[in-house]
Amino acid sequence: MLNIDLTGHRAFVCGASKGIGAATAKAFADCGARVTLAARSLAELKQICEQLPGDGHQVLELDLAKTESIEKLLISTEIKTDPYTILVCNAGGPKAGALAEARLDSFADGFQTHVLANQTLVQTLLPGMISKKYGRVINIISTSVKVPIPNLGVSNTIRGAVASWAKSLANELGPFGITVNNVLPGFTETSRLEALVEAAGKRLGKSEDEVIALWKGSVPARRFAQPEETAVAISFLASPLASYINGINLPVDGGRTGTL
Ligand X SMILES: NC(=O)c1ccc[n+]([C@@H]2O[C@H](COP(=O)([O-])OP(=O)(O)OC[C@H]3O[C@@H](n4cnc5c(N)ncnc54)[C@H](OP(=O)(O)O)[C@@H]3O)[C@@H](O)[C@H]2O)c1
Q: Which residues sit at the interface with ligand X, rule CB under 6 A?
A: 14-21, 39-41, 44, 62-65, 90-93, 113, 140, 142, 185, 187-188, 190-193
Considering the complex, what minimum distance in angstroms separates the CB of residue 242 from ligand X? 19
Considering the complex, what minimum distance in angstroms separates the CB of residue 194 from ligand X? 8
Output 129 or 158, the one with its CB closest to ligand X: 158
In whole angstroms, give the CA distance from residue 213 to residue 123.
43
Output 4 or 14, the one with its CB closest to ligand X: 14
Q: How far is CA 153 from CA 92, 186, 196, 227, 237, in A?
A: 15, 16, 13, 24, 28
Asked if 147 and 93 touch (Cβ cutoff 8 Å), the reply is no
Considering the complex, what minimum distance in angstroms separates the CB of residue 153 from ligand X? 14
Q: 3-state class of 184 per DSSP?
A: strand
DSSP letter, residue 223: S
Output 130 or 219, the one with its CB closest to ligand X: 219
Give me the helix-helix angle, 117-132 and 67-75, nearest 10°. 30
Question: What is 113-137 written as a DSSP string?
Answer: IIIIHHHHHHHHHHHHHHHHT-EEE
Output 15 or 135, the one with its CB closest to ligand X: 15
**CA torsion sign, 236 to 91 to 107 to 188?**
positive
Considering the complex, what minimum distance in angstroms separates the CB of residue 177 from ligand X? 27
Output 134 or 251, the one with its CB closest to ligand X: 251
Residues for the chain: how many in total?
A: 260
Output 26 or 192, the one with its CB closest to ligand X: 192
Considering the complex, what minimum distance in angstroms separates the CB of residue 210 from ligand X? 18
Q: Which of 104, 120, 90 is nearest to 28 (CA)?
A: 90
Considering the complex, what minimum distance in angstroms separates the CB of residue 186 from ligand X? 6
